[in-house]
């Protein structure tokens, strides 16, 4: 299946006109990955993203000498989108093809086109929802882990006595 | 408004936002002046508007002012997370001194963001850039709260861990939440729910083996 046909078959892009799909595929070059090859490597500079057309990938995070699978990416999903909307970011996970994967390479150059690209608009709308959800979850995880400010110490008899003694000393200049 | 649009694009490092189109978006806003201490959003309230902080500062607090999450200075976008996720406000936003706010209503935002017009594209990309910044900040804040990775005592000094694609270490059963904390990384925490599922399965398999 050609990249254009694969893109047109994805539910999110079915409303896009054929000429828009074909134009987009010329601007976002199709790439293929064999199973077990790496699409994105954790720690590398984030430049561009991939729109997966077919196949399945897994995202892993390496910490120390261990790896944890943090999710899977299916056809129709964008992977590495922070590298599309920001500059100077680094990849936070490694993404590996679990089987042969066909994808479109999305670069920041796509934003510099004088005319709107309907396919890019669909990608942007989907990214708005997924990124908002992710930010919200990250923020909530931060709040759950942030130490609560210490409650003011209860007023004890000793505090009261020390305060009174201090006030008396100030009054008497001692 | 042109100056504000340029400042918004610059401060968010937004890519591909047409300044004229963003001026059109800003022209649709309902402008208002607020004194210090005015509440723009209440935690738990319905998310119905997005505010553009055009002048001044705001404080973002949670848990009845007990936890200050952040302070934002103009130009900034506030309140878009709730509108984009369709969930209630996750924090309270209070002006920190006099401020000028431009407000867009829910329906207007969605008609702009959902459309193909240049104004919609400008708003979409500005919001995406803002979300990308927020995601970076949230991950950095979370990273600072989590413990450092465990020391690998067996690895000789100066060498690095086995790369992806190398031999997999034997999985050890452990508490999924502890795993989450030990293996923190930006996207990992963002997808915390999924991590728990993966680790629960691994733990279960280990238990079966025993």
The answer, yes or no, to whether residue B43 has pLDDT greater than 70, is yes
Say if B103 falls within a structural domain.
Answer: yes
CB contact under 8 A, B142 and A112: no
Average pLDDT across chain A, whole number: 81
Residue B141 sits in the same domain as residue B180: no
In-domain check, residue B169: no
H/E stretch holding B104? strand B99-105
Q: How high is the ipTM of this complex?
A: 0.72
Q: Which of B134, B179, B185 sits opposite A135 (nearest CB)?
A: B134
DSSP state of B134: H
Digit-coded pLDDT (tens) for B95-144:
999 999 999 998 999 899 888 888 999 999 999 988 888 877 776 666 56
> A56 with A101: CB under 8 angstroms?
yes
Same domain? For B119 and B26 the reply is yes
For residue A65, the chain B residues in CB contact (below 8 A) are 152, 155, 161-162, 169
Name which of B152, B179, B199 is nearest A64 (Cβ-Cβ): B152
- The answer to the question of residue B110 being in a domain is yes
Q: Are B189 and B136 in a shared domain?
A: no
Rg (alpha carbons) of chain A, rounded to whole number: 27
The per-residue b/e assignment along B136-175, b for 16 or more CB within 10 angstroms, e otherwise, is: bebbebbeeebeebeeeeeeeeeeebeebeeeeeeeeeee
Range of A95-104, B125-134, B141-150 with top mean pLDDT:
A95-104
Across the interface, which of A36, A93, A124 has its CB nearest the CB of B124? A124
Question: Do A68 and B132 make contact, defined as CB atoms within 8 angstroms?
Answer: no
B61 and B134 share one domain: yes
Report the sign of the C-alpha dihedral through residues A102, A107, A113, A118, in that order.
positive
Structural domain contains residue B157: no
Together in a domain, B96 and B135: yes
Residues of chain B with C-beta less than 8 angstroms from the C-beta of A127: 128
Work out how many domains chain B is built from and give that number: 2
Same domain, B118 and B204: no
**B128 and B189 inside one domain:** no
Is residue B8 one of the residues assigned to a domain?
Answer: yes
Domains within chain A, CATH numbers bracketed? 3-144 (2.60.120.10)
Judge if B36 and B111 occupy the same domain.
yes
Tell me the H-state helices in chain B. Answer: 2-11, 19-27, 80-85, 106-114, 118-145, 176-182, 186-190, 192-209
* Residue B63 within any structural domain of the chain: yes
- Structural domain including B113 reads 2-145
| Inter-chain CB proximity B133 and A136 less than 8 Å | no
Domain harbouring B94, CATH code: 2.60.120.10
Mean pLDDT (chain B, rounded) = 73
- Best B68, B144, B189 member to test A by mutation, with max A CBs in 10 Å, is B189
């Amino acid at each position: 299946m050609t990249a254009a046909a694969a893109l047109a078959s994805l539910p999110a892009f079915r409303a896009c006109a054929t000429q828009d799909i074909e134009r987009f595929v010329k601007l976002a070059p199709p790439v293929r990955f064999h199973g077990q090859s790496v699409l994105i490597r954790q720690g590398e500079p984030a430049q561009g993203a991939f729109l997966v057309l077919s196949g399945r990938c897994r995202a892993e995070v390496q910490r120390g000498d261990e790896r944890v699978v943090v999710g899977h990416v299916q056809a129709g999903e964008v992977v590495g989108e922070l590298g599309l909307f920001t500059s100077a970011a680094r990849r936070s996970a490694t993404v590996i093809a679990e089987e042969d994967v066909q994808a479109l390479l999305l670069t920041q150059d796509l934003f510099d086109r004088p005319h709107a690209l309907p396919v890019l608009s669909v990608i942007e709308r989907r990214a708005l929802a997924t990124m908002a959800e992710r930010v919200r979850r990250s923020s909530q995880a931060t709040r759950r882990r942030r130490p609560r400010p210490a409650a003011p110490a209860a007023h004890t008899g000793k505090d009261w006595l020390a305060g009174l003694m201090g006030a008396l000393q100030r009054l008497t200049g001692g | 408004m042109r100056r504000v649009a340029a400042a918004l694009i610059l401060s968010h490092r937004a890519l591909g936002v047409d300044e004229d189109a963003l001026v059109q978006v800003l022209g649709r806003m309902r402008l208002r002046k607020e004194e210090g201490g005015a509440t723009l959003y209440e935690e738990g309230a319905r998310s119905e508007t997005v505010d553009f902080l055009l002048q001044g500062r705001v404080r973002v607090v949670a848990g009845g002012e007990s936890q200050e999450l952040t302070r934002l200075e103009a130009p900034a976008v506030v309140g878009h997370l709730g509108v984009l996720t369709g969930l209630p406000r996750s924090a309270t936003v209070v002006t920190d001194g006099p401020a000028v706010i431009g407000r867009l209503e829910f329906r207007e935002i969605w008609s702009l963001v959902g459309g193909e017009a240049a104004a919609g594209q400008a708003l979409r990309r500005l919001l995406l850039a803002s979300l990308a910044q927020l995601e970076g900040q949230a991950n950095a804040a979370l990273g600072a709260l989590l413990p450092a990775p465990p020391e690998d005592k067996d690895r000789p000094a100066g060498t690095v861990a086995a790369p992806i694609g190398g031999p997999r270490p034997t999985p050890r059963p452990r508490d999924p939440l502890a795993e989450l904390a030990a293996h923190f990384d930006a996207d990992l925490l963002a997808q915390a729910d999924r991590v728990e599922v993966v680790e629960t399965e691994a733990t279960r398999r280990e238990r079966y083996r025993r």
